[in-house]
Amino acid sequence: MSSPPRATVAILSIGQMGLGIAQLLQAHDYRVITNVSDRSRATQERAISTGIELANSDESLVAHADYILSIVPPRDAIATAKRVEVALGKATRDKKGELYYLDLNAISPSTVKEIYASLSANAPSVRFIDGGIIGGPPAPSESEVSGWTRPDVPLSGPHALHDAPIDGAYLADTLNSRYLGEQIGSASGLKCCFAALSKGFTALALQSFTTASSLGVLGALQEYMDVYNPGAKQKAEKSIVGCTTKAYRWVEEMNQIGQCFAEEGGFRAQAQVFRQIAGVYDGLADVVEEKGTSGMASAGGVVQALGESLKHE
């Protein structure tokens, strides 16, 4: 006899990361719901196939959820929170406890503070948690004690997830979260600092490999890296291939990092370098949108396609 579900967790939206977290939560007895009524039929079928319950509106979603996890492209973070605000103004919740809203998007501290201020003013019953996701989507793994490989989820704000009355401690542990303190913006800022190193390196690798390819010396560059920096070579090649389907998400993330470094780090105009990095990912995203990822299974294939596009600009 199966045990009753724990809390009800709503996930917006069901992309690669959202789907992985949904499956992780389902494996730990959480009821997972989403609203993809405005998404493609393929997205709806993907959610259904994994047992995620589909709400037919945002009002229905907020009425039934104990927790909402916002996991959307950075450009959609504010709009997603506004959707929840509007829905709460129309819905009648059938839950006795507070509704917790976890913003797990790759945004700057000032952006997350803007979302927090709006929710506090327009939906004061919501318990807001600032967060981020560091690492890839969860996946089953026999080698892990937990049975899953999981990303890290730093959290911050005055409402600690592990203190939430409805399975909060268990949810905090399931998500592999770490509480950083009461300050809104700490978790988002940490995510920005981490992503600047990992995705900033990928952007540099894209430019370096693409330029070497244009010069006809990509093979020689890779050979020298094998000798002098083999770890960087492997990381560069893997990240160049891996970023092709994510580049469109990373455009606004780079802008958010620049905003974080300018405001929180004090770098001001010097942080504008991330606008240029955003442009690198925007260019790659355009190539992928126009041509797809055919021929991009290797770093050489990716930089060849990007280089050809740059020559025609």
Q: What percent of the chain has pLDDT over 90?
A: 90
**Where residue 273 falls among pLDDT bands split at 50, 70, 90?**
very high
Quote the number of domains for the chain: 2
Burial environment of residue 170 by CB neighbours within 10 A (0 to 12, 13 to 18, 19 or more) = middle
115-136 pLDDT tens trace: 999 999 999 999 999 999 999 9
Are residue 276 and residue 148 in the same domain, yes or no?
Answer: no
Check residue 38 and give its pLDDT: 82
154-169 pLDDT tens trace: 999 999 999 999 999 9
Give the domain range for residue 116. 8-184
Are residue 56 and residue 123 in the same domain, yes or no?
Answer: yes
Are residue 124 and residue 204 in the same domain, yes or no?
Answer: no
Element (H or E) spanning 127, and its range? strand 126-131
Are residue 62 and residue 162 in the same domain, yes or no?
Answer: yes
Are residue 157 and residue 209 in the same domain, yes or no?
Answer: no
Contact 178, 152 (CB under 8 A): yes
Question: Is residue 2, in this structure, part of any structural domain at all?
Answer: no
Question: Is residue 165, in this structure, part of any structural domain at all?
Answer: yes
Region label for 266, one of left (φ > 0), alpha (ψ between -120 and 50) or beta (otherwise): left
Question: Is residue 1, in this structure, part of any structural domain at all?
Answer: no
* Final residue of a structural domain among 114, 149, 184: 184
207-248 pLDDT tens trace: 999 999 999 999 999 999 999 999 999 999 999 999 999 999
* Final residue of a structural domain among 128, 161, 184: 184
> What global pTM score does this model have?
0.95
Question: Is residue 148, in this structure, part of any structural domain at all?
Answer: yes
Check residue 41 and give its pLDDT: 85
* Final residue of a structural domain among 131, 149, 184: 184
Are residue 265 and residue 116 in the same domain, yes or no?
Answer: no
Pure H helices in 91-185:
109-122, 168-174
36-60 pLDDT tens trace: 988 888 888 889 999 999 999 999 9
The predicted model gives 185-204 an average pLDDT of 98
The predicted model gives 196-207 an average pLDDT of 98
Q: Which residue has the tokens 């949810």?
A: 171
Burial environment of residue 91 by CB neighbours within 10 A (0 to 12, 13 to 18, 19 or more) = middle
Distance of CA 194 to the CA centre of its chain: 13
The predicted model gives 259-279 an average pLDDT of 98
Are residue 237 and residue 98 in the same domain, yes or no?
Answer: no
Are residue 50 and residue 164 in the same domain, yes or no?
Answer: yes
Are residue 156 and residue 267 in the same domain, yes or no?
Answer: no
Q: What percent of the chain has pLDDT over 70?
A: 98
Q: Does residue 1 carry a pLDDT above 90?
A: no
| CATH number reported for the structural domain that contains residue 250 in this entry | 1.10.1040
Q: How far is CA 298 from CA 10, 222, 238, 244, 265, in A?
A: 37, 13, 8, 11, 36
Are residue 124 and residue 207 in the same domain, yes or no?
Answer: no
Are residue 198 and residue 179 in the same domain, yes or no?
Answer: no
Are residue 174 and residue 207 in the same domain, yes or no?
Answer: no
Question: Is residue 133, in this structure, part of any structural domain at all?
Answer: yes
The predicted model gives 175-188 an average pLDDT of 98
Q: What is the CA radius of gyration of the chain?
A: 21
Averaged confidence pLDDT in the chain? 95
| CATH number reported for the structural domain that contains residue 86 in this entry | 3.40.50.720
**Where residue 3 falls among pLDDT bands split at 50, 70, 90?**
low
72-119 pLDDT tens trace: 999 999 999 999 999 999 988 877 689 999 999 999 999 999 999 999
Q: Does residue 7 carry a pLDDT above 70?
A: yes
Q: Does residue 184 carry a pLDDT above 90?
A: yes
